[in-house]
Amino acid sequence: MKNLLVVSCVSDDIKAPLSMYLMKNYLSEVVAGVEKYASELDADIMYLLPEGEKVEGLNGDVRYTSACSPTLTNPYSVAQVLGGNIPRPMIQDEYVAVYEDKAVSVVTPEAAYGIKNGFNDKFVAVNVGEKTEIKKATVGQIVGEVVALEGTKAVLLGGLKGTFMAPAEAAELKLEATEKFSSITVYDSSECMVDACVQLMNQAYNASCGKCVLCREGTSQFRQIVTEMTTGKAKSGDLDLIKEVSELISIGAYCPFGQNMTKPLTSAIALFPDEFDDHIKRKTCKCGKCYKAAELYYIDPDECQGCGDCIDACPEDAIEGKDGFIHIIDQDLCEQCGKCVSACDEGCIKTATKLPKLPKKKTKVGKW
Amino acid sequence: MATVNLIIDGKAITCDESKTVLEAALDNGIYIPHLCHHSDLHPNGGCRLCVVKQEGVDGVITSCSTKVKEGMVISTKEETAEKVRKLSVELMFKTHPSECVGCPKYGKCHLASISQYVGDAGREFRQQKLPLIENEENPLMLHEMYRCILCGRCVRACSELRGVGALKFEKVDGRMKVVINGNSLEEAGCQFCGACVEVCPTGSIRDKVGVFKDDPSLSREMTLVPCSEGCPAHINVPKYIRFIKEGNYPAAAATVREKAPIPECLGYICVHSCELQCKRQHLDGPLSIRNLKRFAASQDDGSWKANAFQKDATGKKVAIIGAGPAGLTAGYYLKKLGHEVTIFEKLPKAGGQMRYGIPSYRLPREVLDKEIAEIESIGVEIKCGVDVKSAAELKAEGYDAVFVSVGTHAGNRLPLEGNDLPNVYLNADFLRSINLDEPLPVGENVVVLGGGNVAIDCAESALRLGAKHVVMTCLEAPDKMTASEEEVTWAKEDGIIVENSRTFDAIESENGKVTGLTVTGIEGLKFGPKGPEFTRIPDSTVTFPADTVIFAVGQHPDITEEFGLELNRGRIVTADGHKTSVEGVYAAGDAVTGTRSVIAAIAEARAAVSEIDIFLGGDGNIEENLAPEQIANPCIGKNPELTKTHRTEPTVTDSESRKTNFEPMDLGFDCSKAGCEASRCLQCDLRVQISPQKFWSDYISEEGGQQ
């Protein structure tokens, strides 16, 4: 069987967009590395690029895909995408992925660059706030030299599969030629770690290919649980649940992404236990991000007419009350959908980050 | 083949090196839970239930996708592996409905069975139930994907086994789903093979209610291949249709002959219960199976004879009374089993109702003669014109066994005023007279009482004998008539008037001559234990003018108690299979069951032959493989023509040219029509090839069996 070497530019971690950067800025090195590797494998070459991208000067067999997945370093996953399916890896003894009667191998632009120039250069995506900058560094250099970490709150090394570290600790680490050092994300003191984890778990949920139960349902559960920490619905046992379950997922998940996707969350909890605890137990966010972002709905007891319209409108059955009594929203059930607001003719359903004093038992309209 | 040695749960196992750890364990009675794995599909590894511990390897390994290696030491019940399994089941149930009792798959669900085995750690995960959306777009299958746990077996079965790829994974609003691969079923290219249903471990993709019979007493093969199940003789319909599609017509004919010795006759006149069960009726109409059979049988080259069995002579003698379908079938197989067979036939020629009931425009006599000659050619002796008065006495004449298949050659006469007038005939007498070339005379106005196929035969025959106005009248409403739909259509084309929902009051006469039939409209017809029940509609009494009246309201055996067998309402009583009240005398066919069909008589006769053979000291086995072996390719591919090709109708002589003579009117299929129709087959039998799903209790019981 003939061989096919696919240069996958669609496997990047969302926090480490190195592939297209290298294709655009170091094309000749990448191509040279690819050609060297291909001749060793006796393989035809194909470039797989994200849809909508264009690389000046790139010749040969170039394909485009809307798929982007951490599994797209797996030959089977790449073959699936080339065949018009969604990415799904296959990890199996002696398994050969085939596309158009050719045995598929995969290389990333970063690896190809290394094949050409050796593995001494290290490209690092540095994420600060909304901005991402890609820096060329050298293996062995300390992280603190690549990015200024003084005065920051935390550092995430390695993107969605990475680990949160204290800045002082991270600054002393020496760069290695591994994926862990492809991405450095800096969080400053204004940022909420719980909110940061919500973002990361949402990204992990989207990145999960969905093949393996532990990753697919795990990301889905974790993102919901962490989100609930920012809306006051999380339970006190949730931190232990996350810890225990992520340990099992790291052992039992199918692919490296699934095994590691819980790490940002567990390391954040380990680093900032009080911050998570405050969110769950005290329902407060010192950074003021979370409970502001998800405002709480309540019914103004001075204005409620006890008509029941909001009760009918609530899809969660979260509003209690009888005709002529002041209605009350059960905060544990409320999903903040806002349907009650438009249902209320009196305009008495309001939002706040902190709830005012509200009736605790059945109170007749006008008796508050 | 190289083998390797390994240890699983302390048990030393030697197995082929190509096996996976999971296969090695299951083969040796060690159960490892698995859900996305299916023995016919490529390993997947997604469900994480089959994880096991390998000594010396960190974490757990996926047993379904790890090959066995020399010296491996595996523990299937190691703590971490069990924890991972439990977590996986727990997570699956967060999206899967937790109430099992309302699910149609209750009791047959793999997920439920596995969760029972694996258990639940009871963690406080969040319920993430999926919206309860049913998709009924597919006429044969139901998609309730809110039960789907994304094992992907359906997607893999559709692409790996069938090469169709009508299903795929897709992320919808962030959540992975199994969806059809296109904007419509047609675009997706569904071939309606049911492989997805067969492999689905949950109730997510199911057969729609009514597509298959829900009868636990039926074997899996019979349930899944409704045409074969519907046929009383269980002819392998998909197999011969596939031979026709391949152009191998003699092989198709041989396949039919494996279960019935008169394939071509059946091709003309079979009641085709197979078509009534055909799965494709839910799509765009059943396959025209009978006409396919007829075409194939007409192309028979006799090549099957090389494969037919013929046992050595046993020295036993069997007498058969009646040379109809049952008698001919019994004679044929008993002779093949080595017994000496003599068939006694009262009428001048063999064939029974096929010759003296069914008109020749439906079954050409040369076809019948040819197939009877085939039966005689193996040494079955048929003595015609011999009226056996008593089966019991015949037995005493030195026969080791007697088979009675006298059929139902006496028509039923309803107790109506004027029922004994001249020109009032019984169906059996009337049709027999035509086939004896001494037709009973008919006048200009003929009224036939009855709504079955025999009534139509009488009406059509009367027309062909010169009647000007023919009326058929019956109790049943149009949609409840027992006559087949196409025959009613043809009768109406020929000008026969069908008067439904009438009860018969009297045959009118003047000076001893029939003048008409008086009937009254009815409604609310039911058949109770004492016969039909209905309400007469007031003021709806009319008289159809008639000079000839034919009763076509059922037939019964033309025998009495003198025949020496116990009878019940005129029919021969059988017990314990086909035994009559006299030792060594067996009976089958219409004489036992009342008027049924040729194929039912054949099926019953085959069963009786086995019993007789065992009675005579044989093994009773009459099964034979006459057709060559067939390898049905399960990889059917995406054929866009499959759903676009609609039922092929046979060429039929037009009304004007057929209603004046007894020449064949349904000309059947030619080669291209047959090929076209055969290509419509949905190949239900392919689904039987798929290994049935096994539950953990199946493996555990195997283990018990080994001990």
In the prediction, which pLDDT does B253 show? 96
Strand order in the sheet with B317-321: B381-384, B340-345, B317-321, B401-404, B585-587
According to DSSP, the β-strands at A152-157 and A98-99 are unpaired
The pLDDT tens digits of the residues spanning A5-36 come to 999 999 999 999 999 999 999 999 999 999 99
Phi first, then psi: give them for residue B593, nearest 5 degrees.
Answer: -95, -10
Cβ atoms within 10 Å of B670's Cβ, excluding its own: 12
Chain B environment of A90 (Cβ under 8 Å):
45, 65
Query: Using CA atoms, how far apart are residues B491 and B468, in angstroms rounded to an integer?
Result: 14
pLDDT of residue A292: 59
B148 touches chain A (CB under 8 A): no
- pLDDT of res. A294: 61
> pLDDT-based confidence at A332, cuts 50/70/90?
confident
Contacts of B176 in chain A (CB under 8 A): 210, 216
CB distance B245 to B681 below 8 Å: yes
Residues 6 or more apart from B437 whose CB is under 8 A from it?
none
What whole-number distance in Å separates Cα of residue A203 and Cα of residue A208?
9
Mean pLDDT, consecutive 10-residue segments, chain B of 707 residues? 93 95 94 95 94 95 95 96 96 92 92 92 89 90 95 96 96 92 93 96 95 94 96 97 96 97 96 95 96 96 96 96 98 98 97 96 97 97 95 90 96 94 96 96 96 96 97 95 92 96 96 95 92 94 97 95 92 96 96 95 98 97 96 94 92 93 94 95 96 87 46
The vertex-B194 CA angle with B191 and B197, nearest 5°, equals 140
Q: How far apart (Å, rounded) are the C-alpha atoms in residues A319 and A310? A: 7
pLDDT at A289: 77
Distance of alpha carbon A218 from alpha carbon B176, whole angstroms: 13
Strand-strand pairing, B73-75 and B3-8: parallel
Among A217, A235, A251, beta carbon nearest to B60: A251
Q: Is the confidence at residue A284, as pLDDT, over 70?
A: yes
The whole-angstrom separation of Cα B379 and Cα B334 is: 11
The predicted-structure confidence for A196-247, as pLDDT tens digits, reads as follows: 999 999 999 999 999 999 999 999 999 999 999 998 889 989 999 999 999 9
**Chain B residue with minimal CA distance to A233?**
B126
Query: B67: nearest CA in chain A?
Result: A93
A150, A167 Cβ separation under 8 angstroms: yes
Rounded to the nearest integer, the mean pLDDT of chain A is 93
Question: Which distant-in-sequence residues (6+ apart) come within 8 Å of A190 by Cβ?
Answer: A287
- A212 chain-B contacts, CB cut-off 8 A: 45-48
DSSP B52: E
For residue B24, the SS3 value is helix
Dihedral angle computed from the Cα positions of residues B143, B145, B147 and B150, in that order, rounded to the nearest 10 degrees = 120
Q: Which chain A residues have a beta carbon less than 8 Å from that of B4? A: none
- Spatial CA neighbour of B226 closest among B163, B282, B167: B282
Torsion-angle region of residue A32: left (phi > 0), alpha (psi -120 to 50) or beta? alpha
The DSSP string of A90-108 is ---TT---EETTEEEEEE-
Domains assigned to chain A: 2-117 (3.40.50.11540), 121-188 (3.10.20.90), 193-281 (1.20.1440.230), 296-352 (3.30.70.20)
- Helix (H, G, I), strand (E, B), or coil: what is residue B531? strand
Task: Work out the minimum CA distance from B683 to partner chain A, whole angstroms.
Answer: 27
- Say whether residue B172 is in contact with chain A using an 8 A CB cutoff: no
Listing DSSP states for B142-185 in one string gives EE-GGG-----HHHHIIIIITS---EEEEEETTEEEEEESSSSH
The answer to whether A205 contacts chain B (CB < 8 Å) is yes
Q: Which helix (H) or strand (E) holds B27?
A: helix B21-27
H or E element in which residue B689 lies: helix B686-689
* Residue linked to tokens 């040969």: A60
CB contact under 8 A, A92 and B43: yes
Angle between helices A27-41 and A109-117 (to 10 degrees): 90
| CA-based end-to-end distance of chain A | 82
CA pair distance A334, B292, nearest whole angstrom = 65
Give the ipTM of the model, two decimals please. 0.84
Positions of E strands within B26-135: 51-54, 61-62, 73-75
Radius of gyration of chain A (CA): 25
Q: What is the largest CA-CA distance in chain B?
A: 109
Q: Is B166 on the interface with A (CB under 8 A)?
A: no
CB contacts, 8 Å: A93 with chain B: 65-67
pLDDT at A316: 85
| Among candidate residues B149, B193, B120, the one with its CA nearest the CA of residue B44 | B149
Q: Model-level pTM?
A: 0.86
Structure tokens at B134: 């049913």
List Cβ neighbours of B705 (8 Å cut-off, separation of 6 or more).
none
Look-up of token digits 């000076």: B511
Size of interface A-B (CB pairs under 8 A): 99
Mark yes or no for CB contact A245/B43 under 8 Å.
no
Backbone torsions φ then ψ of B351, nearest 5 degrees: 135, -25
The minimal CB distance from B87 to the residues A214, A225, A237 is found for A214
The residue of chain A with its CA nearest to that of B152 is: A211
pLDDT, one tens digit per residue, over A338-358 is: 889 888 988 899 888 778 888
